[in-house]
Structure 1
């Protein structure tokens, strides 16, 4: 069985991805390889950040690794907050502040179309890194709805749905989420992987 580090300590995320991968691979957390430091995220694209984190783990801990980065891209705001989604309203990384700023920046705009985008970078299994992308298009609602999820979920309504991500249960959200789509691509790549 091949061990791959998923650059996170979020047990829920690890279980979710492990379920998609089946039993040819065993996912291990940053804790399990004794990586305690904050991973660098200084790039100005989602791809850059995901690669930077995965490369850091591979180079410093000699373990194949994948890392993800996710951003909300709002058309009327030139795809902001994008790579700065978590710290849109400042370094405190507060979801309520981020949502307030987003809604206030959209007040003057009729176009509320947006997309959530996740990029996963896999490093150390093949000579070149591999990238997997998941995108969900939707709109930003004028006010918050729902209490599930996190981040911008209360104001993001996926295309063709009548509810925000925060009004859906986890199973529902995962069937159409950006991270779920990127993970499916990663899983299909890994299932065909021959060492």
Structure 2
């Protein structure tokens, strides 16, 4: 049994698709855990490890956790590690509208999605973390209703569609796909042999 340390059902479903066959997964919501970790790290890696260790020690389960976000060069990396907490009580459409407003007079629109994926085994005190990214640019408007979060304003390099317009195609190139694919390739022996 593996705990995916999120209550976000969209993120849970996205991460679950990367888990190798034969491994049963549960979410924080499935376990009725409502405690929040203060994600006050200065990097995605720090926040991802903090989350995995917190929930692993609490449940005594093997955990995978991630911290991910949108990094915009013209805004000095904003929202970055604050992506989920930026305008916390607002929905993502409103967040995206504010970011697009901040970008109105910016010619440079380079951005990237970053994901740090962490595995933690509280029994063996094993921590393995992988960070990956996908480079791209910001769209000029919200486009598409697929995915979640900031997907409808991010256009990955080599494409003319946003993640929000891609659907299934996104799952083969995303930052989360890259990070969790790498993580599970490192973990095969650990998870399957226990």
TM-score by length of 2: 0.87
Instruction: Tell me which moved more, 91-100 or 64-73.
Output: 91-100
CA distance in 2, matches of 1:9, 1:155: 24
Q: Does the aligned pair in 2 maintain the 1:21–1:191 contact within 8 Å? A: no
- Equivalent position to 1:176, from 173, 178, 183: 173
Superposition pairs for residues 1-195 of structure 1, below 5 Å?
3-10=1-8, 13-88=11-86, 90-124=87-121, 127-169=125-167, 171-193=168-190, 194-195=193-194
Q: Does the aligned pair in 1 maintain the 2:52–2:119 contact within 8 Å? A: yes
Q: Does the aligned pair in 2 maintain the 1:123–1:130 contact within 8 Å? A: yes
SS at match of 1:148: coil
Change (3 A) 1:14 1:107: closer
Change (3 A) 1:18 1:152: closer
Q: CA deviation at 1:167?
A: 1.0
Instruction: Give 5+ residue unaligned stretches, structure 1.
Output: none
Q: CA deviation at 1:22?
A: 2.5
What RMSD in Å do the two structures reach over aligned CA positions? 2.1
SS at match of 1:44: coil
Change (3 A) 1:131 1:159: same
Instruction: Give 5+ residue unaligned stretches, structure 2.
Output: none
CA distance in 1, matches of 2:145, 2:33: 33
Q: CA deviation at 1:33?
A: 4.1
Task: State the Cα deviation string for residues 145-165 of structure 1 (Å, max 9, x = none).
Answer: 222222211111100001111
CA distance in 1, matches of 2:92, 2:29: 26
Q: Does the aligned pair in 1 maintain the 2:45–2:131 contact within 8 Å? A: no
Q: Does the aligned pair in 2 maintain the 1:73–1:82 contact within 8 Å? A: yes
Instruction: Tell me which moved more, 116-125 or 76-85.
Output: 116-125
Q: Does the aligned pair in 2 maintain the 1:87–1:94 contact within 8 Å? A: no
TM-score by length of 1: 0.87
